[in-house]
Amino acid sequence: MASQNRTFKTTLAVTMVILLSKLFGFARDVISAGYFGTGMERDAYSSAYTLFYIPVLLFNSCITSTVVPLYVQARNKHSRRLADRFASNCVNIFALLALGVALLMMALAGPLVRITFGGFDQQKQMLTAQLTQIMLPSLSFVVVSIVLSSVLNANERYLSAQLTGFPLTVAVIIATVGFSRQYGIWAVAWGVFAAGVLQMLILLPFANRTMGYSFRLQFNDPQFKRMLVLAVPAILSMAVNELNHIIDKSICSYLNPGDPSAMDYAYRLITFATGVLAVPITTVMFSRLSMHATQGDQKGALGILNQSVEALTIILLPVTLIGCVLATDVIKLAYMHGSFGEDSLRVTSGVFLFYLLGIWGFGLRDMYNRAFHAMQDTRTPMLVACLTVALNVGLNLTLSRVMGVNGLALATTISCMVGAVVLAVMLRKRLGHIGFRKTALELGKVMGAGALCLAAALVLNQIWPQALGKGWVLLRLAGIGCASLLIYVGALVTLRVEQLAFVKGLLLRRRS
């Protein structure tokens, strides 16, 4: 029980840090919407950042899914010195690889933009390429930060590993507010470059106190080879959400002007919600799962997995239901000011609604992926990810013709849910028994409470008059949201959902 209490406190602390980081990030997006709206410059910046983020995403998926379990294994079965040598080798090799990738992409920026965003006109393609070239030199710094964050997580230094979200927000806000009037969107691109450097500088003091760095550059190191074997399939399985979003944006370039920006604003709100509500659970539980898997404790790993699935469902379900009912109010409160007008509101709120339908699937799929990775099985999630991406592409091409940009978001949601279901089935096949019946019973109770929550939100949305000013929109959101949430929590208590009782017990012990 002491271990459970420690897990709860750690998760709560990580949640608070991520919440602050995401709130600052949300403020950054609000400021950007006011300055640039959904115009041509914002489309170009959003697309340039997507190109810059592709190698970041691939490196991140490779590193975070493999470094933690291999570092823990080397430390527990051999020594901390061997684990630190492995981490140092990863830092040096990945920094060198990232530099090579950055130089290559800078040289090929024009063709890459034409291939990825073929629907843009020549002016927008040229601006996108130039902004991409400004951002890319910071890639090595970002990749080193990813390795250091993974090592800190492996040593259960979760809070310091979560600090990397702040530099991007601070740098971009300063660039937007202080320099965009004079230099336009170019200033924001330079802000992204500065943020990459700052991320690494912030993590260095924490990393120096956690690991013993040594200059090593050994591509033939057995641990590094093992990491590459695991990483190749892990890249796709961990990056599937972002890969689908990149595919969405590529197809979106052929739709209406402003649609790429609207999609980007909506998706950032989704990542804000998952980052605050789901990432703390999956981050902490991944390290715990890796430890149990290394020790061969299947029962302990299953307990953590089932507890995480139930917790994610309890947290994400009301967000999905209430958010879908109040999607227009959410976007109105978040972005509607300055250059962000009625047309931007209409398009962005539609995309947001269809993305929001899949937020539960995003969280569950990430949790199941990490369960496989903790067992050092990256092949199975990769195969499921291939299925998910293929399904998303097919649905994109079909639904975008009928629903426009909303169809792209709905395609991502459907493919995500299918991926989560397939992963759950494969996990049950792999382990034989994952406590599915007991978990299904608990999830059924949560769904019943969710139905009451949805009914309350729908009724209140009809009764409560639509609001115009920011203050009235906030009041409407808070009133309907809180009332619906209270009904949801009351139903959970009445139905005696075990996970809710578990959290309540931890809170009572913590107070005492």
Residue 14 has pLDDT above 70, yes or no: no
Return the amino acid letter for 387.
Answer: L
CA distances to 55, 367, 389, 410, 444 from 150, rounded to whole Å, are 17, 17, 26, 32, 35
Euclidean distance between CA atoms 377 and 370, whole angstroms: 9
* Mean pLDDT confidence for 416-420: 89
* pLDDT of 335: 83
Least confident range of 125-139, 411-425, 436-450: 436-450
Tokens read off for 458: 């729908």
- Residue of 189 and 427 predicted with greater confidence: 189
pLDDT digits (tens, 9 = 90+) for 309-360: 777 888 888 989 999 999 989 898 888 877 787 888 889 999 999 999 988 8
Confidence of residue 492 (pLDDT cuts 50, 70, 90): confident
* pLDDT of 238: 57
Confidence of residue 433 (pLDDT cuts 50, 70, 90): low
Q: What is the pTM of this model?
A: 0.66
* Mean pLDDT confidence for 185-211: 89
Q: Which of 214-218, 234-238, 390-394 has the highest mean pLDDT?
A: 390-394
Tokens read off for 11: 């998760």
Tokens read off for 190: 């330079």
Q: Which of 418, 385, 412, 389 is nearest to 400 (CA)?
A: 412
Tokens read off for 207: 């990393």
